[in-house]
């Protein structure tokens, strides 16, 4: 037979409600005619609907609520009645004539609450009687609801401090005992529920048990609202008794839920003062209990408490909260060998949040936590996604707290934790770090810090995992690179020396910056660095940008010259470009060289460019000569200008330099550089030096002499070189 459970249940609920309402109707009639006997009869019949076993907790609760509402009207009647014809004591006896136990007990609780209110008997006696009588119901679902009813109707009649029911022999202890007993009984019913019924319905039963949990937890809420429970009473009686029940029931659902309840319903001050007791229970719980969530909840609460007012902070120090929590976490991790890595990290993450709130000055605590984390994740191999997510949370917390990367950089274990992140997560974390820096406009002011920082975010700078073939989205990559680039703005120090170190550190973090190099922050060094920057930029296929950027930077002509030399030098050493790109770059460089402000500068830069055309296996032979001739033309022009201007000339030097270039390419085997052209050049130089107009220049003399000497020495070498040079007459 196939039956639809849900539909059936709906039917049963409807039938239950119908029966309940019909009897309630007659009950009302009886109440309206002051007919106690009928009123009790119909109310008992009405309550009999609660004897069903067919409803799930949710549906049963619906039925219960209807009965509950009706009972309120009955209660009002009892209240009024007891002032009239029938004494409350009589009523208390009368309701016990109900034939069935469940209706009887509901009625008893209802009258009982009126009884307490009448104060004709001590509250504690009635409460005790009621809580004992309820033992009569051992069916878990029905028992739980009945006891929850008892809890509800007695709630405002507990002999709490300041309550009208307190005094004489009624003390707050009676209230505590009553609630604790009800709690204990309810928990037993609740735990026992799982063992009832066939094994195949276990899952359903667990679901139903879970739905019923608040009925049990409610008792703890009632306890927390009893004003007479001061710290002492809580520490000495309430907490130990509750924990005893929690630990001894050996049921993971109950343990998890009730621990959570304890943490949530009782005030923070109490938790702080009883940390040891509370935490002491944790390792005693079943291994399958999700303690990390429980402890995280506790730490979160305490963190919020600490954040609420600085006045409470000394309390934390006084009770050594950090040490106790840290210790408890260690024990729990040890006790629960199966705890997944993310669980442990989550615990440490909560502890970290706690520490940041409570002990913002204790960086050592933070480092200690990170260290503990490292030892937890070390050797676990690849971490699961959940764990890495937790680690990101863990690493983000100090950044958010201190708003200052400096502080995080001081944490020695911070980079160690980052080591355990996979490539992707590492990048995510690196971005978090950069964003934090940008948001807080933190200046990274020393080379060491830069080093540490770049070590942290190396995921964005280097390809960490060479085997990673994940196709990366280009936009993502750009975004990443942009964020790193933005970071450069935050590297700053007023002191040029330090700034230089810092920039050098950015350039290559692997190189150890030697003392010599950092001796002085000369412009040359800075240009070298910029050169490297441009070098890097040139690898991006926008070389124009690289050059223009640089020329914009270099404002004066001197700087331009230096810059161009660097550019030329760089280009010469780079072999990454295709023919076309290379041509563009080379011609641009030559073009820029020829546009320099001073002729000699133009000349030197242009002949330097000749090297760019001289590429092995490429057809640059002709271009080299063209370039050198262009340099010669500029040298001529320079010479003429000098003649016009002062009659003196430094331009001979240029010629000698160009001669040297000729010799260099001649020697390298450039066929366009002929012996004749060299010969011509030597004569030109010699003529020039002997002319009247020129003043003697010892440097030029020496340069020429050594150039000649060089030619001679090549001749003397003999062999192919000797032969080649033999043709040159000097």
Partner 1 sequence: MYGARRILTHNGDELVVFCWCFAMSLRRRTLLKVIVLGDSGVGKTSLMNQYVHKKFSQQYKATIGADFVTKELQIDDRLVTLQIWDTAGQERFQSLGVAFYRGADCCVLVYDVNVMRSFDTLDTWHEEFLKQCFQANPSDPSTFPFILLGNKIDIDGGNSRVVRSRYAHSVSEKKAREWCAAKGNIPYFETSAKEDHNVDASFLSIARTAMANEHEQDIFLQNTKKIQQNRIEKRELEIRGGKKEIAGGTYENEHDDIYLYEDVLLPDISRESLRLYKKQSNEVVVHVNHTKE
Residues that bind partner 1 (CB under 8 A): 17-18, 21-22, 25, 28-29, 32, 57-58, 61-62, 64-66, 69, 72-73, 76, 151-152, 155-156, 162, 210-215, 217-218, 220-221, 224-225, 227, 260-261, 264-269
Residue 357: burial class (beta carbons within 10 Å; 0-12, 13-18, 19+): buried
Task: Name the minimum Å distance from CB 162 to partner 1.
Answer: 8
CB closer to partner 1 out of 262 and 563: 262
- Residue 623 CB burial class (10 angstroms; 0-12, 13-18, ≥19): buried
| Residues 147, 185 contacting (CB under 8 angstroms) | yes
Q: Residue-wise over 279-290: b if at least 16 C-beta within 10 A, else e?
A: bebbbebbeebb
Query: Judged by CB, which is closer to partner 1: 77, or 725?
Result: 77
Toward partner 1, which CB reaches closer, 72 or 486? Answer: 72
What is the Cα–Cα distance from 213 to 209, expressed in whole angstroms? 6
d(CA 683, CA 656): 11
Q: How many whole angstroms separate alpha carbon 22 and alpha carbon 44? A: 12
DSSP 8-class letter at 98: -
CB atoms within 10 A of CB 540: 10
**Cβ at position 397, least distance to partner 1 in Å:** 21
Q: What is the CA radius of gyration of the chain?
A: 45
* Cα angle, residue 617 at apex, residues 615 and 621 outer, rounded to 5°: 60
Q: What is the dihedral angle through the alpha carbons of 571, 575, 580, 583, rounded to the nearest 10 degrees?
A: 30
In 3D, which of 384, 416, 319, 393 has the Cα closest to residue 358? 319
CA distance 358 to 352: 10
**Whole-angstrom distance, CA of residue 150 vs CA of residue 160:** 17
- Specify the residue for token string 């550019």: 567
Q: Which residue has 């295709």 as its token pair?
A: 578
3-state secondary structure of 444: strand
Nearest distance from C-beta of residue 239 to partner 1, angstroms: 14
From the CB of 170, what's the least distance to partner 1, in Å? 18
- Smaller CB separation from partner 1, 58 or 729: 58
What is the token pair recorded at 271? 């938790």
- Which of 65/378 has CB closer to partner 1? 65
Q: How many residues appear in the chain?
A: 730
DSSP character at residue 237? I
Instruction: Identify which of 390, 469, 483, 387 has the alpha carbon closest to the alpha carbon of residue 433.
Output: 483
Rounded to the nearest whole angstrom, what is the least distance from the CB of residue 79 to partner 1 in the complex?
Answer: 9
Q: Which is nearer to partner 1, 228 or 415 (CB)?
A: 228
Whichever of 25 and 492 has its CB closer to partner 1, that residue is: 25
Tokens of residue 608, six digits: 């330097």
Query: Token digits for 425?
Result: 């997560």
Q: How far apart are CA 11 and CA 23, in angstroms?
A: 18
- DSSP character string of 272-324: HHTHHHHHHHGGGS-TTS-HHHHHHHHHHHHHHHHHH-GGGHHHHHHTTHHHH
Q: Considering the complex, state which of residue 125 and residue 300 has its C-beta at the smaller distance from partner 1.
A: 300
Q: State the nearest-atom distance from the C-beta of 207 to partner 1, in Å.
A: 11
Of 238 and 534, CB closest to partner 1: 238
Minimum gap (Å) between residue 534 Cβ and partner 1: 45
Nearest distance in Å: CB 116, partner 1 = 14
CB of 24 to partner 1, least distance (A): 9
Nearest approach, Cβ of residue 65 and partner 1 (Å): 4
Would you say the C-alpha torsion 48, 73, 42, 121 has a positive or negative sign?
A: positive
**Cα gap 342→338, rounded to integer Å:** 11
Complex with partner 1: residue 155 or 588, whichever CB lies closer: 155
Closest distance to partner 1 from the beta carbon of 179 (Å): 13
- Smallest gap from Cβ 305 to partner 1, in A, equals 8
Q: Is 520 helix (H, G, I), strand (E, B) or coil?
A: coil
The helices-and-strands tally (H runs, E runs) of the chain is 37, 0
Q: What is the token pair recorded at 261?
A: 């309840």
Distance CA 199, CA 715 (A): 105
CB of 507 to partner 1, least distance (A): 42
CB closer to partner 1, 304 vs 687: 304
Compute the least distance from the CB of residue 69 to partner 1, in Å: 6
Of 253 and 394, which CB lies nearer to partner 1 in the complex structure? 253
Minimum CB–partner distance for residue 83 and partner 1 (Å): 11
> Least distance to partner 1 from the beta carbon of 298, Å?
13
User: Is 218 or 611 the residue whose CB approaches partner 1 more closely?
Assistant: 218
Nearer residue to partner 1 within complex by CB, 10 or 544: 10
The smaller minimum CB distance to partner 1, of residues 191 and 503, is found at 191
CB of 25 to partner 1, least distance (A): 5
Q: Which is nearer to partner 1, 82 or 560 (CB)?
A: 82
Cα separation, 269 vs 241, in Å, equals: 19
User: Residue 605 and residue 593: Cα distance in Å, rounded?
Assistant: 5
Compare residues 66 and 661 and give the one whose CB is closer to partner 1: 66
Backbone φ and ψ for 289, nearest 5 degrees, come out as -70, 135
Distance separating alpha carbons of residues 425 and 728, to the nearest angstrom: 68
**Token pair recorded at residue 31:** 């109440």
């Amino acid at each position: 037979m196939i039956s639809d459970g849900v539909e059936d249940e709906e039917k049963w609920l409807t039938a239950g409600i119908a029966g309940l309402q019909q009897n309630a109707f007659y009950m009302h009639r009886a109440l309206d005619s002051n007919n106690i006997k009928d009123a009790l009869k119909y109310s008992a019949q009405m309550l009999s609907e609660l004897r069903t076993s067919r409803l799930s907790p949710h549906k049963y609760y619906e039925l219960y609520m209807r009965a509950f509402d009706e009972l309120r009207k009955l209660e009002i009647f009892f209240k009024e009645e007891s002032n009239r014809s029938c004494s409350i004591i009589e009523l208390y006896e009368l309701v016990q004539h109900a034939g069935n136990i469940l209706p009887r007990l509901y009625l008893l609780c209802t009258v009982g609450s009126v009884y307490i209110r009448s104060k004709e008997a001590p509250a504690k006696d009635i409460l005790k009687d009621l809580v004992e009588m309820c033992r009569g119901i051992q069916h878990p679902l029905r028992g739980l609801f009945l006891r929850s009813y008892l809890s509800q109707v007695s709630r405002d009649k507990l002999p709490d401090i300041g309550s009208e029911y307190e005094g004489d022999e009624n003390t707050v202890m009676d209230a505590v005992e009553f609630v604790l007993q009800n709690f204990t009984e309810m928990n037993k019913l609740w735990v026992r529920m799982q063992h009832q019924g066939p094994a195949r319905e276990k899952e359903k039963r667990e679901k139903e048990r879970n739905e019923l949990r608040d009925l049990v937890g409610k008792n703890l809420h009632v306890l927390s609202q009893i004003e007479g429970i001061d710290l002492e009473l809580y520490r000495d009686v309430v907490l130990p008794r509750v924990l005893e029940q929690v630990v001894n029931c050996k049921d993971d659902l109950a343990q998890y839920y009730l621990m959570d309840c304890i943490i949530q319903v009782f005030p923070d001050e109490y938790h702080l003062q009883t940390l040891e007791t509370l935490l002491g229970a944790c390792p005693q719980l079943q291994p399958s209990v999700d303690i990390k969530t429980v402890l995280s909840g506790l730490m979160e609460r305490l963190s919020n408490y600490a954040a609420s007012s600085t006045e409470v902070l000394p309390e934390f120090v006084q009770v050594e909260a950090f040490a106790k929590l840290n210790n408890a976490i260690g024990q729990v991790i040890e006790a629960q060998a199966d705890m997944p890595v993310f669980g442990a990290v989550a615990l440490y993450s909560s502890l970290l949040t706690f520490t940041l709130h409570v002990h913002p000055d204790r960086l050592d605590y933070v480092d200690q936590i990170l260290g503990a984390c490292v030892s937890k994740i070390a050797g676990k191999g690849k971490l699961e996604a959940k764990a890495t997510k937790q680690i990101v949370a863990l690493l983000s917390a100090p950044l958010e707290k201190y708003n200052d990367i400096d502080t995080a950089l001081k944490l020695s274990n911070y980079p160690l934790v980052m080591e355990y992140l996979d490539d992707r997560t590492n990048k995510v974390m690196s971005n978090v770090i950069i964003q934090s820096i940008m948001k807080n406009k933190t200046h990274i002011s020393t080379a060491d810090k830069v080093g540490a920082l770049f070590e942290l975010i190396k995921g964005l700078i280097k390809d960490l995992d060479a085997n990673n073939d994940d196709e990366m989205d280009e936009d993502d990559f750009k975004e990443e690179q942009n964020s790193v680039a933005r970071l450069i703005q935050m590297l700053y120090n007023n002191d040029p020396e330090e700034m230089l170190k810092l920039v050098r550190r950015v350039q290559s973090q692997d190189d150890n910056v030697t003392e010599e190099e950092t001796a002085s922050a000369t412009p040359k060094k800075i240009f070298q660095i910029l050169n490297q920057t441009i070098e890097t930029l040139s690898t991006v296929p926008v070389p124009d940008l690289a050059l223009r950027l640089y020329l914009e930077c270099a404002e004066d002509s001197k700087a331009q010259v230096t810059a161009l030399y660097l550019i030329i030098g760089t280009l010469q050493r780079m072999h990454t470009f295709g023919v076309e790109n290379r041509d563009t770059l080379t011609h641009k460089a030559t073009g820029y060289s020829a546009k320099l402000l001073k002729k000699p500068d133009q000349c030197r830069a242009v002949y330097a460019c000749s090297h760019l055309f001289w590429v092995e296996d490429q057809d640059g032979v002709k271009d080299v000569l063209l370039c050198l001739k262009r340099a010669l033309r500029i040298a001529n022009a320079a010479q003429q200008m000098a003649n016009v201007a002062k009659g003196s000339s430094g331009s001979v030097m240029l010629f000698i330099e160009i001669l040297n270039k000729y010799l260099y390419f001649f020697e390298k085997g450039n066929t366009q550089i002929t012996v004749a052209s060299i010969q011509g050049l030597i004569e030109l130089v010699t003529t020039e030096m002997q002319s009247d107009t020129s003043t003697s220049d010892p440097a030029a003399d020496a340069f020429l002499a050594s150039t000649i000497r060089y030619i001679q020495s090549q001749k003397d070498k003999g062999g192919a070189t000797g032969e080649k040079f033999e043709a040159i007459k000097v």
